[in-house]
Structure 1
Amino acid sequence: MAVFTQVSKTEAAALLSRLNLGQLTDIEGCAGGIENTNYFVSTLRDGEPHHYVLTLFERLSFEQLPFYLHLMKHLAGKGIPVPDPAADARGEILHKLKNKPAAVVNRLKGRSELAPGASHCAQVGAMLARMHLAGQDYERSQPNLRGLAWWNETVPVVLPHLTPEQATLLQAELAYQNHVAASASYEALPRGPVHADLFRDNVMFDQGQLSGLFDFYFAGIDSFAFDLAVCLNDWCIDHGTGRPDPERSRAMREAYESVRPLTAAERELMPAMLRAGALRFWISRLWDWHLPREASMLKAHDPAHFERVLRERLEPL
């Protein structure tokens, strides 16, 4: 949630007024992520304070964004606690600000839990399964834009920045994932809309209870097993070493399966999906680390973390 594009109070106030969200009282740039420009905005409407998140999209296009925004609308309508995009008088939820795509969503209550226990992981697992089921009748379709095709395009770009040992590992794992993707078991994996980035900082808890999921701008149609693997690789590992935590991993998987049991193909390929999840974020962090963009509050993540996670997920020879 870095600030790439500066938005004035006047510009923000005009958009909020057009959306009938009240009079702007405060605007504050958000630090944290690295994809979009985000501001926390507060308004006064009918004498009551309201809180929103204003997002300007720096990489996603006007053509790509309806998938994400309408997915959030769809999930919110099914009772999943996600941000609900605000519509204008014509019912449009994708807006324009500073000649860039923009959206305004309600700000979720609570805070992120960056040191989760088994209870937090169980709640995330169950909610992820609920989200997968709720999205099955979503009619729009868009591939995971950070999936295998993007890995194949991006690895050659980051290879010159790696040590020979790192380059060997990266190329070997990419070859393995291409092999997996060509298998019949992979074709049998259940698919639908996935979050694909449900890390600790994208979930809110209020008094110990999960209160919201947000940042759906990496979502796409992909395997549910991959989405679960991404969560296991963040929520259920030791961040210092990248090693899986058995208790938290078990809590998340059991809670997920209490809502949506895994298929035989998903169970078979879960080790490969855990490796795929680690590879995806190692590649993207290498890309952001070595080929950064300017932003006034940019903080790129260290790619070494997901290199460690991948090494821990490799099956014994």
Structure 2
Amino acid sequence: MAVFTEVSFDEAAAFLRSLNLGQLQSIKGAAGGIENTNYFVDTDQGQYVLTLFERLTSEQLPYYLHLMKHLAGHGIPVPNPAADAKGNILHRLKGKPAAVANKLRGHSELNPTPAHCTSMGEMLARMHLAGLDYPRRQPNLRGLAWWNETVPVVLPHLTPDQRSLILGELAYQNHVAAMSGYRSLPRGAIHADLFRDNVMFEDGRLTGFFDFYFAGCDTFLFDIGVCLNDWCIDLDNGAQDAARAAAFMAAYQRVRPLTAQERRLLPSQQRAGALRFWISRLWDFHLPREAAVLKAHDPGHFERVLRQRLAHPYLL
């Protein structure tokens, strides 16, 4: 989350009234994240998150918003976008696409235990299954095609060793994507960005997933790899934590067992997840956008994670 577009109290109040969400009591810009403008807004009817979309278009956004509606209707704890009197859940504010959804209860668990990872694995598998009958289709917009486009843009900012690493891994991921085994992997709607700060817990219980604006149709294994790379590692050095990884994978497979091909390709998709976020953090760090509130992430973190995945692949 971040603030690129300033919204005044009066502007937000009028917008929320138009959605029949009550009288605005407070509004506060959210500093986390880097893609959209986000405000936490409290009204006399509840707590909400107001989002103005800075990069995603009105043509792309229905996929994400209706996916949240679909998952909420299937019992997955996710924000449920608010509709206007005509039933529309995509709105406009300050000339930009906008949405409002309920704020989830609880807090992010930044130091997860195996028990937290068990809850994560189970809910991720439930989410994947719940999305199987979601009718809309949109590719993962930060997938392989975007990596191929963006790596040449960030290369001038890298050392020779970093350039060798990123180009070698990109070539490997293009090779994997061309394999028949990869093309046969189970796929559907994935979150694609389910880091610790995008999940809420209350009294040790998982209360929800949020920030679905990188979601898309991709392999479930990529989603698993992204989660393993954040929930089940030592953040200082990127090394895999065996106990947390085992808890996560056991819980996931109790709900949706992996195929033999998924088990074989899991190391490649952990590497893919590390590459994806190294590229995006390099892009955001070296080519930043102006924002009233913005905290750029350290791109070196996912370089370390990628090097760890190469040196010590996680095998089931």
Identity of aligned residues (%): 71
With over 3 angstroms needed to count, the CA separation of the structure-2 counterparts of 1:316 and 1:5, relative to structure 1, is closer
1:260-299 counterparts in 2 under 5 A?
Answer: 260-299=256-295
Q: Distance in 1 between matches of 2:28 and 2:152?
A: 38
Q: Shift of the alpha carbon at 1:234?
A: 0.1
Unmatched 5+ stretches in structure 2? none
- Within 2, Cα distance between the matches of 1:101 and 1:10? 18
* Aligned partner of 1:58 among 54, 58, 61: 54
1:34 to 2:31 alignment: no
| Counterparts of residues 31-180 of structure 1 (less than 5 Å) | 31-45=31-45, 50-180=46-176
The AA in structure 2 aligned to 1:136 is L
Taking the aligned partners of 2:158 and 2:294, their CA distance within structure 1 comes to 22
* Aligned equivalents of 2:203, 2:298: Cα separation in 1: 31
Q: Equivalents in 2 of 1:315, 1:192: separation in Å?
A: 30
For 1:32 and 1:97, the matched residues in 2 are separated by 21
Is residue 209 of structure 2 the alignment partner of residue 213 of structure 1?
A: yes
TM-score with structure 1 length normalisation?
Answer: 0.98
Please show how residues 235-254 of structure 1 align to structure 2 within 5 Å.
235-254=231-250
Match of 2:305 in 1: 309
Aligned residues: 313
1:201 matched to 2:209? The reply is no
2: CA distance, partners of 1:253 / 1:94: 36
TM-score normalized by the length of structure 2: 0.98
CA–CA separation in structure 2 for the residues paired with 1:31 and 1:167: 31
Name the structure 2 match of 1:233: 229
Structure 1 distance, partners of 2:281, 2:312, is 25
Matched residue SS, 1:314: helix
**Who is 1:22 aligned against?**
22
In the TM superposition, what whole-angstrom CA distance separates every residue of 1:23-76 from its partner, at most 9, and x where no partner exists? Answer: 11111101110000000001114xxxx100000000000000000000000000
For residues 177 and 167 of structure 1, the distance between their equivalents in structure 2, rounded to whole angstroms, comes to: 15
Q: What does residue 7 of structure 1 align with?
A: 7
How far apart are the structure 2 equivalents of 1:249 and 1:165? 29
- Shift, 1:264, TM fit: 1.0
3-state SS of 1:135 partner: helix
**Offset at residue 316 of structure 1 (A):** 6.8
Distance in structure 1 (CA, Å) of the matches to 2:297 and 2:23: 36
Note the residue ranges of structure 1 that are not aligned, 5 or more in a row.
Answer: none
CA deviation vs aligned residue, 1:97-134 (integer Å, no higher than 9, x gap): 00000000000000000000000011000000000000
Question: Structure 1 counterpart of 2:281, which letter?
Answer: R
Q: Secondary structure at the match of 1:111?
A: coil
Aligned equivalents of 2:57 and 2:259: distance in 1?
A: 35
Post-superposition CA distance 1:176-201 (Å, at most 9, x none): 00000000110110000000000000
**Which shifted more, 13-22 or 193-202?**
13-22
Runs (4 or more) in structure 1 with deviation over 3 Å come to: none
Tell me by how many angstroms 1:9 deviates: 1.1
- Distance in 1 of aligned mates of 2:71 and 2:226: 20
